[in-house]
Amino acid sequence: NAGATYQRAMTYIFHDLIHKIMESYVDDLLAKAKKRCDHPEVLRVILSRLIEYGVTLNPEKCIFGVTGGKLLGYIISSRGIDVDPTKIRAVLEMVPPSNESGVRSFLGKLGAIRRFIPDLSFAIHPINNLLKKDYSIDWTKDCNEAFEAVKRFLLSPPTLMPPKLDHPLILYSRATNVSLACMLAQEDDNKRERVIYFISRTLLDYETRYTQAE
């Protein structure tokens, strides 16, 4: 597997720099510095390492001195982690689906950005039900309300905060009769609570018979 081999090579070359002054994701290299004045030295170290191992870069794909950029489908900046606007637009431009393929397409698009949406499984439960064996693709009022509610939320999605390993984490959880959800958060340097991650899932049939405490 070429991708896995390349990743192993990058990890070998930059093992002492990864998670400190850079990140490596297959063929994407990210150099990082907290202060602009430190960035040239970070670049010097990384470029020297590339020269040492005979690795070349494509100048047309290199960007230097920026405060943010797209990485792994997200927008990374000093603000935090934002969802790629193209993924938001893909959802906002959808019309209510009329068949199973359309429902799966809508849910698939949400799956790619679900970490930005609180209690998503509960919000789209009427739509998820359409894929059950004993349900037909009957787009009800509840389905449409769920569809429009998610689209309204995505007009102003939250910016997520990368976790700080030396700060305590805060976990909020919620259980309903159809889903489980939680929010992982942390206080930033200004003591403001910031979201790190939203996660949720639909209960399995046998789990719906548990009490809420269970």
Q: Rounded to an integer, what distance in angstroms lies between the CA atom of residue 126 and that of residue 94?
A: 17
- The pLDDT of residue 172 is 97
pLDDT tops 90 at residue 50: yes
- The pLDDT of residue 75 is 92
| Listed range (1-5, 101-105, 199-203) with the worst mean pLDDT | 1-5
In the numeric block, the tokens 């990374």 are attached to 76
pLDDT tops 70 at residue 103: yes
Residue 51 CA, distance from chain mean position: 33
**DSSP alpha helix (H) spans, 14-154:** 39-52, 85-92, 100-111, 120-123, 125-128, 141-153
pLDDT tops 70 at residue 206: yes
Between residues 211 and 42, which one has the greater pLDDT? 42
Residue 163 CA, distance from chain mean position: 13
Per the CB < 8 A criterion, the answer to whether 11 and 18 are in contact is yes
pLDDT tops 80 at residue 23: yes
- The pLDDT of residue 26 is 77
- The pLDDT of residue 115 is 97
Across 34-147, where does the E strand assignment appear? 68-71, 74-77, 80-83
Mean per-residue pLDDT, 113-125: 96
* Angle between helix 100-111 and 85-92 (nearest 10): 150
The Cβ of residue 151 has, within 10 Å, a number of other Cβ atoms equal to 14
**DSSP alpha helix (H) spans, 118-188:** 120-123, 125-128, 141-153
Q: Rounded to an integer, what distance in angstroms lies between the CA atom of residue 54 and that of residue 156?
A: 45
- The pLDDT of residue 211 is 77
pLDDT tens, position by position, 55-67: 999 999 999 988 8
The most distant pair of C-alpha atoms in the chain lies apart, rounded to whole Å, by 63
- The pLDDT of residue 134 is 65
pLDDT class of 72 with cuts at 50, 70, 90: confident
| Listed range (47-51, 62-66, 140-144) with the worst mean pLDDT | 62-66
Mean per-residue pLDDT, 89-117: 95
pLDDT tens, position by position, 150-196: 999 999 999 999 998 889 999 999 999 999 999 999 998 889 999 99
Above pLDDT 70, what percent of the chain? Answer: 98
Q: What is the mean pLDDT of the chain?
A: 92
* Residue 144, amino acid: N
Copy the structure tokens of residue 148.
Answer: 């429009």
